[in-house]
Amino acid sequence: MFKKGFSTAEILIVLVIVGVIAVAMITTIRPNDKMYGKLCYKAYDILNTAVYNIKQDAADYNEDLYNKANTTASEVNEDNLKTFPEDPILFCKDLADRSSGYINTSYTNCNNIYNYGETFVDAKKKIAVDPTFVASNGMRFYMVLLGDIGDSEHNKWVMIWVDLNGSKLPNSTEVTENKKPDLVPFFINLKEPVVVPGGVAAYDGTYLMAKIIYSTPDLEKSESAPMTMISAKYGAFAGLEWTKDPMSFLDAEILDEIQPMNGLYDYSTAVDPNCFADQSLAPLLHSYIYPLCTIKIIENK
């Protein structure tokens, strides 16, 4: 007596159907999207924490000097005060020196700092230079000098590109509708230290999100729903003004000039009325008395 089984043709049909469903699921879910989001926030957190620690280290050192001077009734020699390093090489060493840096690294070469406009990527937008340092988690960091932007009294920027997945492909800055880059730029002001995510992370919410934080005399402290950072920027500062809150962005129009998204990502351009002292002046964009809003960068979960 013969048992009836599946024919070869039937098995092939089932395999084809399973394959089509699998491809559809992968296309819909796009696992890289979620991975890049988690890694992008991790990269931001690494840089932001390191910059905060460098700032705090200088503040603690200076406080100690003043405390000692008070106990001895002497004056502090201001030449002995510690400041945040404005020299990019010194900043790189504070950031990532293998023995004393605030970022755990497996490789650091602070001579690998590149000038803006220098050949950084090849014709296919693939990385064409060696990293400045490599974090112990495998992320690769490339430091690029931007120099003074706008008011040089307060603005001295470096850009750090982070290869979120390290040596894994695509190692590219290219942004298309069907392809997302694993390289994301972060901007750091060396005079008023703050870390600002830029490029695709500012426009695409699968990388990072932000909330507008309200705090006004007539509005109980609260926050907005999550949104893309470019939407939060415009909502809080009308796209023109920035606060100096360390959680927020600083004045840097370069963020709108580097790696434009060319309409690939939609974002709101609505000014949040809670961010203006006089709501009737909100349409004028420039007219508010003091910064009522800040921006908090959050992970896209």
**Per-range mean pLDDT, top range of 12-16, 53-57, 260-264, 288-292:** 53-57
Percent of the chain with pLDDT over 70: 67
Amino acid 226: pLDDT? 92
Amino acid 156: pLDDT? 76
Contacts of 147 (CB under 8 A, 6+ apart): 116, 156, 157
As a whole number, the mean pLDDT across the chain is 77
Distance CA 72, CA 66 (A): 10
What is the pLDDT averaged over residues 87-105?
Answer: 93
* pLDDT tens string 18-42: 665 655 554 444 556 678 889 999 9
Strand partners, 208: 299
Mapping DSSP onto H, E and C, the string for the chain reads CCCCCCCHHHHHHHHHHHHHHHHHHHHHHCHHHHHHHHHHHHHHHHHHHHHHHHHHHHHHHHHHHHHHHHHHCCCCCHHHCCCCCCCHHHHHHHHHCCCCCCCCEEEECCCCEEECCCCCECCCCEECCCCCEEECCCCEEEEEEEEECCCCCCCEEEEEEEECCCCCCCCECCCCCCCCCCEEEEEEECCCCEEEECCHHHHCCCCEEEEEEEEECCEEEEECCCECHHHHHHHHHCCCCCCCCCCCCCCCCHHHHCCCCCCCCCCCCCCCHHHCCCHHHHHHCCCCCCCCEEEEEEECC
* pLDDT tens string 48-90: 999 999 999 999 999 998 898 888 888 888 888 899 998 999 9
Amino acid 18: pLDDT? 62
**Residue 154 scores a pLDDT above 60:** no
**Per-range mean pLDDT, top range of 123-132, 134-143, 153-162, 210-219:** 134-143
* pLDDT tens string 276-285: 655 455 455 4
What is the pLDDT averaged over residues 129-139?
Answer: 96
Amino acid 289: pLDDT? 46
* pLDDT tens string 209-262: 999 888 765 666 688 889 988 888 878 876 554 444 444 544 444 444 444 455
For the question of whether the overall pTM of this predicted structure is more than 0.85, the answer is no
Contact 142, 134 (CB under 8 A): no
**Residue 294 scores a pLDDT above 60:** yes
Amino acid 77: pLDDT? 84
Amino acid 41: pLDDT? 94
